Amino acid sequence: MLKKEQNDYLCQTGPGTPMGNLFRCYWMPALLSEELPENDCPPVRVKLLGERLLAFRDSEGKLGLIDEFCAHRGVSLWFGRNEDCGLRCPYHGWKYDVNGQCVDVPSEPAESGYAKKIKLKSYPLIDQGGVLWTYMGDPEKQPPLPEFEFSTVPLNQTFTTKRIQECNWLQAMEGGIDSSHVSFLHRGDLSNDPLFKGAAGNKYNMQDLSPVFEVVESDGGLLIGARRNAEDNQYYWRITPWVMPCYTGVPPRGDHPIHGHFWVPIDDESCWAWSYDYHPTRALTETEVAAMKDGKGVHVKYVPGTYRPLANKDNDYLMNRAAQKAGKTFSGIEGIGMQDASLQESMGPICDRTKENLVGTDNGIIMARHRLMRAARALADKGTVPPGVNPEHHKVRQAALLLPRDVQYKDGAKEALVARKGVRQTSV
């Protein structure tokens, strides 16, 4: 349970807020690479942390993320012409490069130097792993590029999608570090979903509905271990890494690709749910990629032409009571991604955490909140660089394994929890 002030503190990420300042210390996914498919393609509107921005790719392939609005009279540059290494406002022809620098004001004599004085807010945009990443903080403090395994393996080993989620980022992210709900919400999918089914470990999810949680701090965030009973005096461990502020990894199943999420605030009442799938040591199969594109696993089907899920709150997520009654799905909603999103959105745009009743399985959530608040305060008070900024912190891996009951997972899974090039995931 949080006080209202604490909830506001964690949920608000607009310019000038403490959590907003924290988010602005990190590289974050901003767009899919496919959204800027070629040089001089149409610009794309992007809203992040409450800021309205425009992404574009210039004639030479350079990427830019700039203020959406022209410095002159404020029209949206989304209507702009992307030509000759710059985006030209269609109203009076002011032109900007990928850094937001104005390079032409046609009505002013070039020799006046007027254009040089005009510069839009801009953020770097880099292409890595099929994702365009941005950093929205102080340029002086820009950290090295991110090194999450999913975006640094070869492109044929990784597949990432995004979807709009119509609630605050925190309640979405809290779902991502809460592996205790799998045995309920997703139980039907453990035996049906092509990207989940068939793993030997699935049976422990189904058998033991009272996992015991052990959460430990990592350099970049947390490791959330969920322990379920297994045979032969063993425990079945599923370990979820959380890297601050909003990267989460779902523990793997068999040889299925590993998946997880980034939860990036659009504004205080919506966020981007990014979903990645990758395999550390092999290309994804055609069948796997087809399933992902079909909305299986952690991915979803879309309203055509958008990144909004086809099942959404306006259609009650296509609730199927018959499938629910028959136990085909636990909540009546189809697909793991929308099972999560439907419930998280049902909490309201911003979950009222003054009313919650947390239990042992929520320890990961409790500790994540505290770590976020602590980091935001240290940043505000002392300028401390928060955990998760250092790319070394990104090199974690989710794991699922059996360990003897007397072995602690931070010891027994130590190697399994590190991203190691050319080494397969540890997964039962």
Site residues for its own copies per CB under 8 A: 42, 69, 71-76, 78-81, 90-93, 105-109, 114, 118, 171, 174, 180-181, 183-185, 209-211, 319, 321, 324, 330-333, 339, 342-344, 346-348, 351-353, 355-362
Residue 375 burial (C-beta neighbours within 10 Å; 0-12, 13-18, 19+): buried
Residue that has been written with the tokens 């209202």 in this structure: 4
**Residue number with CB closer to its own copies (291 or 372):** 372
Of 10 and 25, which CB lies nearer to its own copies in the complex structure? 10
Min dist CB 24 to its own copies, Å, is 20
Place of tokens 């999103």: 341
Q: Which is nearer to its own copies, 73 or 374 (CB)?
A: 73
Pairing of strands 270-278, 258-267: antiparallel
Asked if omega into 245 is within 30° of 0 (cis), the reply is yes
Give the nearest distance from C-beta 205 to its own copies in angstroms: 13
| CA-wise closest residue to 209 among 189, 241, 186 | 186
The radius of gyration of the chain's CA atoms, rounded to the nearest angstrom, is 22
Q: Taking the CA of residue 196 as centre, how many other CA atoms within 13 Å lie in the half-sphere pointing to its CB?
A: 24
- Nearer to its own copies (CB atom), residue 219 or residue 356: 356
> 27 or 196, CB closer to its own copies?
196
**Cβ closer to its own copies: 80 or 280?**
80
The least CB distance from residue 271 to its own copies, in Å, is: 17
Identity of the amino acid at 208 = D
Q: How far is the CB of 196 from its own copies (least distance, A)?
A: 17
- Shortest distance (Å) from residue 336 CB to its own copies: 13
Rounded to a whole number of angstroms, the minimum distance from the CB of residue 330 to its own copies is: 5
Distance in Å, CB of 69 to its own copies, minimum: 7
Instruction: Pick the closest to residue 123 from 30, 19, 192 (CA basis).
Output: 30
Least distance (Å) from its own copies to the CB of residue 152?
33
Question: Which CB sits closer to its own copies, 95 or 395?
Answer: 95
Report the candidate in 253, 177, 227 with the shortest Cα–Cα distance to residue 408.
227
Count CA atoms closer than 13 A to 394's CA, side-chain side: 18
DSSP string, 171-225: HHHHHHT-GGGHHHHTHHHHHH-TTTTT-TTHHHHHH--SPEEEEEE-SSEEEEE
For its own copies, the closer CB: 42 or 254: 42
Q: Which two tokens stand for residue 212?
A: 């015991």
